[in-house]
Amino acid sequence: MLLFSYVVYSQDYKQTQNRVKSIYLYNFLKDIQWEGTSATEVSICLLGKDELFLELEKLTGNRKVQNKGITIKLVKSPSECTTCDLLFVEEGFGGDMPNSGLKCPSLVITSGFFLKDFSTIALLYHENRLQFYVNKELCEANGIKVSSQLFSLANQNIVKQ
C-alpha cells in the first residue's frame, strides 16, 4: 500500500512539474519577439519530452500567441533547433549535450542546467522554487527581443558565469 501511494504521488508530482513548465513556455512566448520574422505560426520543439508534450498540447489547444498559431513537435536532437522558434531541452534528456559550436537561431529554453552559448532562458530551481534566468547576450546575438516585463521577472542571480 505504501509503495502504491509513493508511485501515485510521484506521478502526480511529475504531472504537476510538466504543467508548470508548459505554463512557463507558453507565457515566455507572449513576451518574446523574433527579429525579421513574419511567420503565421510559432513552432515549439520539445527534445524527447512526451509528458510535457501532452501538457503543452492541452494548455495551448487552439490558442494563439501574438496572433500566431502554435505548433508543437518532438525532436530527437538539439541540432534540429533550426526548425523551431522555441526549443525546450531538459537536463538528462538522454542524448548528447549540444557542443559549444552549435548555433541555434531559436529561443532555447533549458531546464535544470545552463550552457552560456546555448541556453537563451534557463529554468532552474533556486531555494526550492522554479525560477528562470535570461541570457541577455545570447538573445541579442540571435535577434530575440525579450520584453522588459519578462526580464524584470527573471532571477539574474541564479546563474554564476
Q: Where are the alpha helices (DSSP H) in 61-142?
A: 136-141
Right CATH number for 2-153 from 3.90.220, 3.40.50, 3.10.450, 3.30.70?
A: 3.40.50
More confident residue, 150 or 106: 150
End-to-end CA distance of the chain: 46
- Domain residue limits, the chain: 2-153
pLDDT of 146 reads 92
Determine how β-strand 144-146 pairs with β-strand 32-34: antiparallel
Q: Name the CA dihedral angle for 31, 147, 77, 17, rounded to a multiple of 10 degrees.
A: -60
Q: Give the C-alpha separation, 79 to 53, whole Å.
A: 19
Q: What is the pLDDT of residues 69-109, one digit of tens each?
A: 898 988 887 777 777 889 898 887 655 555 545 666 688 89
pLDDT tier at 4, thresholds 50, 70, 90: very low
Rounded to 10°, the helix 50-60/2-30 angle is: 50
This prediction has a pTM of 0.83
Q: What are phi and psi of 64, to 5 degrees?
A: -120, 160
User: Please, are residues 123 and 108 in contact by the beta-carbon 8 Å criterion?
Assistant: no
Reduced to 3 states (helix: H, G, I; strand: E, B; else coil), residue 146 is: strand
DSSP secondary structure code for residue 39 in this structure? -
pLDDT of 38 reads 67
pLDDT of 9 reads 46
User: Please, are residues 161 and 116 in contact by the beta-carbon 8 Å criterion?
Assistant: yes
Helices then strands, counting H and E runs in the chain, come out as 4, 8
